[in-house]
Amino acid sequence: MKYTSEHEYVKTEGDIGTIGISDYAQNQLGDIVFVELPEVGKSFNKGDEIAVIESVKAASELYAPISGTITQINEELDIEPALVNSSPQDKGWIFKIKLSNASELDELMDEEAYASHIG
């Protein structure tokens, strides 16, 4: 599992990355009431706005942590967005992306670096 400084995680299996937000991030956002998911088949460059997470209080953009093409989205979130709160790194994953540049993963933080990032 790798993390960005914006609190997204990337879990890779082969050339597919599963992306969501960290437990720290869901806790900071509070009750999540809506997740605007990207379209399957759409390509993004690292840093592009890719999804929006809405809590009761505010909307927060999610930026692509790596470049690639969306292969799958978590449609469960349309019905139960609070899965991002209750199970951020498992049932609350947000989308899967086919990596177009796997070397970008090297720029992300590992668990230990992320833990010290959130202090």
Distance between CA atoms of residues 47 and 111, nearest Å: 21
Which of 40, 47, 59, 72 touches another protein (CB under 8 A)?
A: 59
What does the block give as tokens for 12? 């890779």
Q: Does 42 bind another protein (CB under 8 A)?
A: no
For the chain, the C-alpha Rg in angstroms (whole number) is 13
- Span 79-108, contacts to another protein by CB under 8 A: 81
Distance between CA atoms of residues 39 and 70, nearest Å: 7
Neighbours of 112 (CB within 10 A): 8
Q: How far is the CB of 94 from another protein (least distance, A)?
A: 15
Number of residues engaging another protein in binding (CB under 8 A):
14
Q: How far is the CB of 50 from another protein (least distance, A)?
A: 12
Q: Which residues bind another protein (CB under 8 A)?
A: 30-31, 33-34, 36, 52, 54-59, 78, 81
